[in-house]
């Protein structure tokens, strides 16, 4: 069984390889990829060299879903993530395994056994269903934030937020009224709690509201440069692999 791992954390790669070797001595890890860009490049030129993919959802430059949107891949995929058991059980019904991190040996063994029983049957991955469930998790989208400023707590409605950004391991929200406030949640956490029709993760550092995007201009290397309202303190670029999804998002509604 030839396996490809798509995981941005090197330690997590090594731990998964160790578990795979313990569970099944016959597996061969043919490549470890750390980003959407690496995944697209390697998988596009190595079709047929692997039997099974393990893919973490959150990668260095976006979500692994983008790889499957860019490429036509019929190889079975086992997704890795920190989301809840509700999502995991839902995907098992659809014959797509979905392992909670940190991965447990028995769960990994069950996933490999399931793959073996498929007898090389190719799975039809519904990315729309995956993303919908990841974002919703059977819960309403976040409508407000309670932000602590010194000894004061301030209520901020989500509709009043223009964008979120990360800087030096901190996360900030910027309101349409140009307030800039630090919050105690990562962009990864925020991305799954906010309505995806209103907010888009344009890069690792920025999560923007649709009404904050004044314009998007072509930029070199097939990227887009955004002008936000209020104006951001630095350039905000949409990576090449995110451009199709961003343009589709901008055209919704």
Class of the CATH domain delimited by 2-136: alpha beta
Distances (CA, A) of 44 to 34, 68, 77, 128, 203: 15, 11, 16, 22, 23
CATH of span 144-250: 2.40.50.1020
How far apart CA 173 and CA 88 sit, in angstroms, is 31
Neighbours of 236 (CB within 10 A): 22
Would you call 22 helix, strand, or coil by DSSP? helix
pLDDT per residue as tens, the chain (253 positions): 899 999 988 888 998 999 888 888 888 999 999 999 999 999 999 888 888 888 887 887 888 878 877 887 777 788 777 655 435 443 543 334 556 566 777 777 777 776 666 544 444 445 555 555 555 544 578 889 988 888 888 899 999 999 999 998 899 999 999 999 999 888 888 988 888 889 999 998 999 999 999 999 999 888 999 999 999 989 999 988 888 889 988 885 4
Spans of all domains in the chain: 2-136, 144-250
The CA angle 57-59-91, to the nearest 5 degrees, is: 5
Distance CA 7, CA 180 (A): 33
Q: Are 67 and 7 in contact (CB under 8 A)?
A: no
CB hemisphere CA count around 167 (13 angstroms): 12
């Amino acid at each position: 069984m030839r396996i490809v791992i798509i995981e941005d954390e090197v330690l997590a790669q090594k731990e998964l390889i160790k578990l795979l070797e313990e569970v099944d001595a016959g597996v061969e890890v043919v490549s470890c990829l750390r980003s959407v860009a690496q995944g697209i490049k390697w998988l596009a030129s190595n079709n047929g060299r692997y039997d099974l993919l393990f893919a973490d959802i959150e990668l260095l430059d976006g979500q692994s879903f983008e790889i499957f949107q860019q490429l036509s891949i019929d190889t079975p995929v086992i997704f890795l993530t920190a989301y809840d058991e509700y999502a995991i059980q839902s995907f098992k019904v659809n014959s797509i395994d979905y392992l909670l991190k940190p991965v447990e040996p028995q769960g990994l063994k069950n996933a490999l056994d399931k793959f073996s029983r498929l007898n090389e049957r190719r799975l039809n991955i519904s990315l729309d269903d995956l993303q919908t469930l990841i974002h919703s998790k059977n819960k309403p989208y976040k409508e407000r934030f309670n932000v602590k400023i010194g000894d004061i707590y301030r209520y901020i409605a989500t509709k009043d937020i223009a964008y979120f950004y990360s800087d030096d391991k901190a996360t900030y929200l910027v309101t349409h009224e140009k307030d800039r406030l630090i919050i105690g949640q990562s962009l990864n956490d925020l991305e799954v709690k906010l309505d995806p029709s209103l907010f888009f993760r344009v890069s690792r550092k920025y999560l923007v509201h649709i009404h904050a995007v004044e314009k998007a201009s072509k930029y070199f290397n097939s990227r887009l440069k955004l002008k936000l309202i209020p104006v951001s303190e630095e350039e905000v670029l949409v990576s090449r692999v995110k451009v199709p999804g961003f343009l589709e998002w901008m055209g919704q509604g």
